[in-house]
Structure 1
Amino acid sequence: MVRRVARRLRCPIAPTIGAIVLFWLALTPSLLPRSPLFQGLVCGVAAALGYAVGALLGWVLRSCGLHLEGRLRRIFWWVVAVGAVVGSAICLVWYVRWEDDLRERVGTEAVDLAHVPVLLVVGLVVFVLIVAIARLLRLAGRVVGRQVSRLLPQRVAAVIGAAVVALCCWVVVDDVVAARVLATMDATFIAINDEFATDVPAPTSPSLSAGPASSVEWEDLGRQGRVFIANAPSAETISAFTGRPALQPVRAYVGVGTDGEIDLREEAQRAVEELELTGGFERQVVNVVTGTGRGWVNENQARALEYMWDGDAATVSMQYSYLPSWMSFIVDGSRAQEAGRLLFEAVYARWLELPEDARPKLVVSGESLGTFGGEAAFSGAQDLAERTSGALFVGPTGNNRLWQQFTEERDPGTPEVLPIYGGGEIVRFGDQQEDWQRPDPTWEGPRIGYLQHANDPITWWTWSLALHKPDWLDEPRGRDVSPKIRWIPVVTMLQLAADQMVANDVPEGQGHQFGQEPVRAWAEILPSPGWDDADTDRLAEEIASQQLDDVS
């Protein structure tokens, strides 16, 4: 029995070498520092992939008659074992140095002694689990194949056995596991969506959804909608900052309700009704925001325009999912696009009905998955310029259609992480405030801005990383990106996928944390008359202090 188990657990030479090499490569630098848990996960998955590649290569070599036996095989195993230990020790030392360098760039704490053993344990567990599952599936295929071989030739039976097991796995994962997981997640996040319903009372201002003039109920706004409405600044707060008379900003919001049924077209129409009932079309600026999955709207973006325009601004948004942004993108990414398109088109249709001299400035904005949806209503830069007075997309995803177009068609000689498109006439990209002046301070007409960081994995991760080296790794590295990062097929894709899980666990100005940068971006894209840089600095400090108050 022991010998049988040992035979099952043994690792052939080629797969072992593949696992070791991919483990080493997974320790190379990435965009952001990661916890030992996520680093171990990347190493374990990479080692399992290396094992699979090695197994395939070994099968090819054996098919060609090349294999090791006897004393030569034992010697080769000793070489592999010694090389694995020595090579791993060297790679782990380098990894700690690379990681500390990256953490210094980003502004987080250095690696401590507990990091490496946790990484190794997690990586080993993940690797063993993946290989064990693969072997069980292979065993199941062989069992089925042996049964089929009673009726059909051996090779045909083997193929049928593998196909049957693959089909059964697909059915189990897709129809059983995934369905139950999604049902559980849906129920869980519906419950979370109902939080914060009674902790804070409904607003009393007619300029806010769920207020006296509104047609929606406080309970139906959803958690993020209630937070957004409750945090609206008052006219007195804005006036105290500007020293001028101010209005209560309009915030119109529609949630998905509590019944689990989501009709995006109906929601968009209700959002326009809310905007009208709360007086949004009577303001100087209307900001159409596509939120993230659960309906989160970046307060810094909304407040920037509200303060800049003395409260004479309206923000309209709607919820389109119960799920967090990353889950919503995986389960149904097209919903964000549909929501963004339907919301803007509904607002724009009503806006066109207004007399030309009474139309407010119409702008579009969104962050992260919200940029993915916010772009959906437009065909290109000219369309954005013709139908809006400006736009701000913060932390775009690598799958954004227009962002990809503008980046790929950038002016020759400009880098992918900070491109110049069409001479910067309409669309501009910024990482820091001074970037908005590229290629020159003159920026006439409607201004479309993309605020992005060179080390934000949300922006730079795509499936193509598996087989294609991106330009941003072929060009001089962007701000705070390690010069030691290199493109490695498949491994780089896995690393950035893991980076996405920690993209918000970094200081402001890094990764997917934008802090007060949206305030400075709006000051470049749609400043109010007479607004200057000193006003922008004061406003950034004011909104930062309000964030601290919200947290406390």
Structure 2
Amino acid sequence: MESMTKSQRSTATEPEASPWWLPSYVGLFVGVIFFALMFTPSLIPRPPIFQGLLGGLAFAIGYAIGHGSVVLWRYLELPEVPRPWRRAANIVLVIACAIAAVIYVPQAAAWQDEVRARLNMPPVETFNLLLVFAVAVITALLLILLGRLVLAGVRAASAGVYRWMPRRIASLLGAVIFIVLLVTIVNGTLVSATIGAIDRAQALVDVTDPPGAVVPAEDTRSGGPGSSIEWRQLGRAGKRFVTEGPRKADIEAFTGRQALEPIRVYAGLRAADSPEKQAEAALADLIRMGAFSRSILVIATPTGTGWVDNNGIAPLEYMHDGDIATVGVQYSYLQSPFSLVLEPGRAQDSAAAVFRTIYRYWKTLPEDSRPRLYLFGLSLGSHGSEASPPLHAWLGDSFDGAVWSGPPFRNRLWLTIQRDRDEGSPSWRPVFEGGANFRVIGHGGDASDAPSDWGRVRMVYIVYPSDAIVFFEESMFYRPPEWLTPPRGEDVSPLLRWYPIITALQVGIDMMLSAEVPPGHGHDYAVADYISAWNAVSAPANWTDEDAKRLATKIETETAKHSGSW
């Protein structure tokens, strides 16, 4: 024994290698636990296919954690379970997996129905467990296969340096080399190609006319006879924006008073070759159409594709008898989630350029005759709009206020309000400095009610507790979010429990589904709440609660009529 060579001693201390096709029992155990917990409630109900995708992803992550722990344990050459006991230990793990599945999986339908009830959705008629399992198995197998391919690459890289250094150092260095090469290739080639392909596909869609969109006959809308921006330069979302919205006759029929023709200006990506030039084109239209003689001017930052929510602008046009001008500038062809991840900073850069260009002109006008200046943004639009005013625009010649709905979890100002909220207010409905300048409302909320009187600038956030886009946090992977602390938001299930990794994955999937719910929940912001917010921010004369109810019903009816055509 004492005469063993160095090679023999090394071999004697190495763990016995398992065949590549043999599963890890510890990996299976952790994977099944993750899979079972994934059926527990979250913010948004999940259809079977998404439940299957999420279950497969959770299983693969759990399997990787379990198997990775075993690999790390062996790498550190720590004591292992003696061989005679391993079979018994594996049997115990299999039984534990079966118990977890029996406890959690059968409750899936009831849990989903509880969440649906919170969001005023009907219960599921059938919950297709077979479909869930099929999708989960396929997803998990593909991810595990991908993981094994990565491990094979790491082993190959480690083998290349093993001849020059000790085994454990070679394993670590090989892993670093392979991962650096993989990330470099993916970031440099795959991601760039994917962004380019998505951008080209969305650009092709952007040139088409949405159903029902027509060139405006009014000289108060971009693309029409009074505009320097051509119809083809508006883009799909811009064409929709100038087609939608009330006209003078609609407003007069609703209020019984004389009204002006609302001004809607929009500059698509094809209107100019930079955000600054787009902003200048939009400003030229505003001046040409007499926007700076109106009572209110709104700078509306669109979502990723350029969409401006008509439900967020039309109420203001009715409330102020059409004496409104609204301007929007497109900054991307991509859907908001893609734009947020693949084009970081583009929304803020565009919004800042638009605000800077319009604000400079607005500031030169006599203070007693220029319009009140407001900001508007939904979702990624609020992300850009929030960051658009420079410091001096908050002081002195400041803008007048803002309505921001569904602020994404990366909005800095929103995060500050949550973090520094007044004591006793929940993170999902924070009160900040008594509500002097910032107020937060939910569905059916009244932004006029706050401990302090309004200050110089009035800003209202509309936020629903069940909106995953607002309340996702990266830290949920390892700690519970504050919004789960009682009292919870009115549409957040009391059955929702925090689990490490699991809850973050669930809420991440919820972001993809958050708009597929009834208005007033998730990321679908209701007309009535926009009316309440604009009422508090812009203070229209002679506006009553009865007017608000009638207007909400009118716009909701019109939206439902056209929802399938866009």
Is the structural similarity TM-score above 0.5? yes
- 2:533 counterpart residue number: 521
CA-based RMSD of the aligned residues comes to 2.3
Q: SS where residue 251 of structure 1 aligns?
A: strand
Instruction: Determine if the alignment matches structure 1 residue 490 to structure 2 residue 501.
Output: yes
Instruction: Give how far 1:275 is off.
Output: 1.1
For the residues of structure 2 that align with 1:438 and 1:318, how far apart are their CA atoms?
33
Contact kept? 1:398, 1:460, Cα under 8 Å:
yes
Instruction: Determine if the alignment matches structure 1 residue 533 to structure 2 residue 545.
Output: yes
For the residues of structure 1 that align with 2:264 and 2:163, how far apart are their CA atoms?
71
For the residues of structure 2 that align with 1:340 and 1:133, how far apart are their CA atoms?
40
Contact kept? 1:433, 1:521, Cα under 8 Å:
no
Pick aligned residue for 1:148 from 161, 165, 176: 161
Instruction: Determine if the alignment matches structure 1 residue 138 to structure 2 residue 178.
Output: no
When structure 1 is superposed on structure 2, of 510-519 and 410-419 the one drifting more is 510-519
Deviation sequence 1:444-492 (CA, Å, 0-9, x none): 5432100000000010012222223221112311111011212222221
Question: Structure 1 residues 238 and 435 mapped into 2: Cα distance closer, same or farther (>3 Å)?
Answer: closer
Question: Structure 1 residues 98 and 463 mapped into 2: Cα distance closer, same or farther (>3 Å)?
Answer: same
Instruction: Determine if the alignment matches structure 1 residue 52 to structure 2 residue 67.
Output: no
Instruction: Determine if the alignment matches structure 1 residue 463 to structure 2 residue 474.
Output: yes
For the residues of structure 2 that align with 1:177 and 1:403, how far apart are their CA atoms?
34
Contact kept? 1:300, 1:519, Cα under 8 Å:
no
Which aligned runs of 4 or more in structure 1 are off by greater than 6 angstroms?
Answer: 379-382
- 1:499 counterpart residue number: 510
Pick aligned residue for 2:218 from 205, 221, 225: 205
Deviation sequence 1:217-274 (CA, Å, 0-9, x none): 100100000010111322111111111111110001100018xx84112112221112
- 1:41 counterpart residue number: 53
Instruction: Give how far 1:179 is off.
Output: 2.0
Contact kept? 1:436, 1:524, Cα under 8 Å:
yes
Question: Structure 1 residues 399 and 430 mapped into 2: Cα distance closer, same or farther (>3 Å)?
Answer: same
Question: Structure 1 residues 384 and 456 mapped into 2: Cα distance closer, same or farther (>3 Å)?
Answer: farther
Instruction: Determine if the alignment matches structure 1 residue 174 to structure 2 residue 187.
Output: yes
Q: Which amino acid aligns with 1:138?
A: L
Question: Structure 1 residues 380 and 53 mapped into 2: Cα distance closer, same or farther (>3 Å)?
Answer: farther
Unaligned runs of 5+ in 1: none
Question: Structure 1 residues 281 and 342 mapped into 2: Cα distance closer, same or farther (>3 Å)?
Answer: same
Contact kept? 2:26, 2:93, Cα under 8 Å:
no
Question: Structure 1 residues 235 and 470 mapped into 2: Cα distance closer, same or farther (>3 Å)?
Answer: same
For the residues of structure 2 that align with 1:172 and 1:434, how far apart are their CA atoms?
50
TM-score by length of 1: 0.93
Deviation sequence 1:484-532 (CA, Å, 0-9, x none): 2122222211111100110011111110111212122212221321111
- 2:42 counterpart residue number: 30
For the residues of structure 2 that align with 1:277 and 1:307, how far apart are their CA atoms?
23
Contact kept? 1:385, 1:426, Cα under 8 Å:
no
When structure 1 is superposed on structure 2, of 442-451 and 533-542 the one drifting more is 442-451
Give the share of equivalent positions with the same residue, in percent: 32
For the residues of structure 2 that align with 1:415 and 1:364, how far apart are their CA atoms?
26
Question: Structure 1 residues 423 and 379 mapped into 2: Cα distance closer, same or farther (>3 Å)?
Answer: farther
Instruction: Determine if the alignment matches structure 1 residue 92 to structure 2 residue 108.
Output: no
Deviation sequence 1:356-415 (CA, Å, 0-9, x none): 221111111110001100111246899289622221001111111111111111100110
Q: SS where residue 269 of structure 2 aligns?
A: coil
Contact kept? 1:465, 1:490, Cα under 8 Å:
yes
- 1:309 counterpart residue number: 320
Instruction: Give how far 1:6 is off.
Output: 9.2
Q: SS where residue 424 of structure 2 aligns?
A: coil
For the residues of structure 1 that align with 2:30 and 2:402, how far apart are their CA atoms?
48
Question: Structure 1 residues 40 and 236 mapped into 2: Cα distance closer, same or farther (>3 Å)?
Answer: same
Instruction: Determine if the alignment matches structure 1 residue 324 to structure 2 residue 335.
Output: yes
When structure 1 is superposed on structure 2, of 247-256 and 54-63 the one drifting more is 54-63
Q: Which amino acid aligns with 1:171?
A: T
Question: Structure 1 residues 96 and 379 mapped into 2: Cα distance closer, same or farther (>3 Å)?
Answer: farther
Instruction: Give how far 1:152 is off.
Output: 4.7
For the residues of structure 1 that align with 2:396 and 2:66, how far apart are their CA atoms?
53
- 2:200 counterpart residue number: 187
For the residues of structure 2 that align with 1:450 and 1:384, how far apart are their CA atoms?
21
Instruction: Determine if the alignment matches structure 1 residue 334 to structure 2 residue 339.
Output: no
Instruction: Determine if the alignment matches structure 1 residue 454 to structure 2 residue 487.
Output: no
For the residues of structure 1 that align with 2:111 and 2:210, how far apart are their CA atoms?
46
5 Å matches for 1:53-452?
53-62=65-74, 63=76, 65-196=78-209, 200-257=213-270, 262-378=273-389, 383=394, 387-440=398-451, 442-443=453-454, 445-452=456-463
TM-score by length of 2: 0.91
Contact kept? 1:197, 1:219, Cα under 8 Å:
no
- How many residue pairs are counted as aligned between the two chains? 546
Instruction: Give how far 1:311 is off.
Output: 0.7
Contact kept? 2:393, 2:399, Cα under 8 Å:
no
When structure 1 is superposed on structure 2, of 91-100 and 293-302 the one drifting more is 91-100
Q: SS where residue 232 of structure 1 aligns?
A: coil
For the residues of structure 2 that align with 1:413 and 1:96, how far apart are their CA atoms?
36
Question: Structure 1 residues 24 and 386 mapped into 2: Cα distance closer, same or farther (>3 Å)?
Answer: farther
Contact kept? 2:109, 2:127, Cα under 8 Å:
no
Question: Structure 1 residues 380 and 481 mapped into 2: Cα distance closer, same or farther (>3 Å)?
Answer: farther
Instruction: Give how far 1:535 is off.
Output: 1.1
Contact kept? 1:393, 1:450, Cα under 8 Å:
yes
Instruction: Give how far 1:340 is off.
Output: 1.5
Unaligned runs of 5+ in 2: 1-16
Instruction: Give how far 1:305 is off.
Output: 1.0
